């Protein structure tokens, strides 16, 4: 009268797989349903920082790309296409950061060239004074 209480291995392994699939679906749906407000704040900050670094002058291509993607992200946000909005905002943030770095590098290069020119002028002036 022994009852076999052993469950088949298939049943024992099906439950965790089912739970993982269900949890994954909930997580994906949760991400798709939430507005990417934190990413939007990061992107807005990066774009403002790039503008203040004069990226529109020194890195126009990257800055234009950042601004276009930012506008597209805002449109996707209004349409509640949150995943697309998040992706575009991330790309806009990266473009803005590249634009800012290029602008800062160009301004630094200009300052170095100005300093070299100033040194050369001082040398020439010093040479005239000794003749």
What's the length of the chain? Answer: 131
- pLDDT for 33 equals 83
Q: Maximum distance among all alpha carbons in the chain?
A: 122
Residue 62's CB is within 10 A of a number of other CB atoms, namely: 22
**Mean pLDDT score, 83-112:** 97
- pLDDT for 74 equals 97
The pTM assigned to this predicted structure is 0.67
Domains, the chain, ordered by start: 36-130 (1.20.1270.390)
Question: What digits encode the pLDDT tens for the residues 56-78?
Answer: 999 999 999 999 999 999 999 99
Residue 106's CB is within 10 A of a number of other CB atoms, namely: 16
In 3D space, the residue among 38, 42, 22 whose CA is nearest the CA of residue 93 turns out to be 42
DSSP state of 8: P
Distance CA 23, CA 52 (A): 44
- pLDDT for 27 equals 44
What average pLDDT does the chain have?
A: 83
């Amino acid at each position: 009268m022994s009852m076999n209480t052993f469950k088949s291995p298939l049943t024992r392994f099906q439950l965790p797989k089912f739970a993982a699939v269900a949890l994954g679906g909930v997580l994906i749906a949760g991400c798709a349903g939430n507005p990417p407000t934190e990413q939007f704040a990061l992107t807005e900050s990066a774009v403002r920082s790039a503008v203040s670094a004069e990226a529109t002058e020194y890195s126009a291509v990257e800055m234009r790309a950042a601004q276009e993607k930012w506008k597209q992200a805002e449109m996707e946000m209004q349409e509640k296409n949150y995943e697309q909005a998040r992706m575009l905002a991330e790309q806009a943030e990266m473009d803005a950061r590249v634009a800012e770095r290029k602008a800062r590098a160009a301004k630094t290069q200009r300052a170095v060239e100005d300093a070299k020119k100033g040194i050369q002028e001082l040398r020439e002036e010093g040479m005239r004074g000794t003749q």
